[in-house]
Amino acid sequence: MTPALVFSAEEYAARLAKTRSAMAQRGVGTLLVADPSNMAWLTGYDGWSFYVPQVVIVPRDGAPLWWGRTQDKPGAAQTTWLDPTDLHDWPEEHVQHPDHHPVESLASLLRMRGWTTHLGVEMDNYYYSAASHRILETAFGRDALVDATGLVNWQRAVKSEAEIALMRKAGQLTAHMHAVLRDGFRAGIPKNVLVAEVQAAGIAGLPGLAGDYPAIAPIAPSGAEASASHITWNDRPLTPGEATYFEISGCHRRYHCPASRSLFLGDPPADIRRAETAILTAIEDTLAAARPGATCEEIAACVYDSFARAGYVKGNRTGYPVGLSYPPDWGERTMSLRPGDSTVLQDNMTFHLMPGLWTPDWGLAITETFVVTPTGGQPLADIPRELVVKPA
């Protein structure tokens, strides 16, 4: 079966070259990539197999290798550009075995290839376990391992035109989901029913545009629940007098375009309207400032300044890069829009701008995913931005 690649061979080659340049700068001879987002970005690999050990091995030269579970090897053949001879598996009987660990076979493969020093590992990553690290350290010694956390993530920061196109398609799905949300939002509907309608819309997609599963489940707290920023949903009916915010994202070919909108049943009180005004001003100011050459902290200041003028204090970051991702997070874990991050913005970087406010009694969030352009931040989804208000 011929692999159904998402990008051209030339684009994958450019990504590999960028990664190898970064490896040389970090003193990495062989890179072990465990993050499924990074694995997909480098090779195209796509599968729900990240709950077991798997890596893409990037040597200093020559073809990368895929290493994973035997049962997932056919998936690697179907989704990656790698030659079948570069796909390697570990024994199926080692799946969650109390006496054997799959990384023991990874160590054997590395030793067989002579890749036993300057091994880069993604130390601070969801998918690289303490047990995996212990086995590699035992096999090759502590000094053989180099912390390569974020090495590939940073190479993904500037998107290609093909990636931006996929994010725009994800943005179409996000806008479709929010349209279903606005239409279905009403007093008395159990929130799980509304969430089901929204999720179904994102997966069913639009004519000629199929949806995929997003890296994060819908965030949908109401009223006092919304003082906690990452509550998902429950079966409680929507109630008049409460603000609800939904953070959702369409997903297409693993690319995301998250956006939050807040909704209110009844007449919003003055403090929520004041927060809405501050958020909308913050978005406009940030998008105007988000040009190549500006820094993360400079554009973040637009949010904090707008909130301060309205009498609010925001104590958390206000954005992060997004794009290709797998659960449990659609952020790229590199830059942050917050004070102290002096990273310089470049053309075609993409961020989820998060000017949310969380008080002890309510939460309000209106957010945008945007791409950095010479004329400012350009939203990648077309969604009405104001607070959605419906009669109680």
Domain with CATH 3.40.350.10 in the chain: 9-155
Place of tokens 């053949």: 77
Closest by alpha carbon to 216, among 202, 206, 205?
202
| C-beta of residue 226 within 8 angstroms of C-beta of residue 236 | no
55-57-61 Cα angle (round to 5)? 165
Rounded mean pLDDT, 1-23: 93
pLDDT score for 283? 98
Rounded mean pLDDT, 347-376: 96
What whole-number distance in Å separates Cα of residue 251 and Cα of residue 205? Answer: 9
pLDDT score for 2? 72
In sequence order, the β-bridge partners of residue 120 are 31, 146
What whole-number distance in Å separates Cα of residue 179 and Cα of residue 204? Answer: 14
- The dotted CATH code for 161-390 is 3.90.230.10
Please check the confidence at residue 335 and state whether its pLDDT lies above 80.
yes
Please check the confidence at residue 392 and state whether its pLDDT lies above 90.
no
| C-beta of residue 138 within 8 angstroms of C-beta of residue 163 | no
Please check the confidence at residue 4 and state whether its pLDDT lies above 90.
no
Longest dimension (CA), the chain: 69
Average pLDDT, the chain: 97
CATH architecture of 9-155: 3-Layer(aba) Sandwich (3.40)
Q: 322: Cβ–Cβ under 8 A, 6 or more apart, which residues?
A: 256, 257, 258, 330, 331, 332, 350, 351, 352, 369
Question: Both tokens of residue 263?
Answer: 């909704």
pLDDT score for 1? 66
Domain with CATH 3.90.230.10 in the chain: 161-390
| C-beta of residue 56 within 8 angstroms of C-beta of residue 65 | yes
Rounded mean pLDDT, 131-159: 98
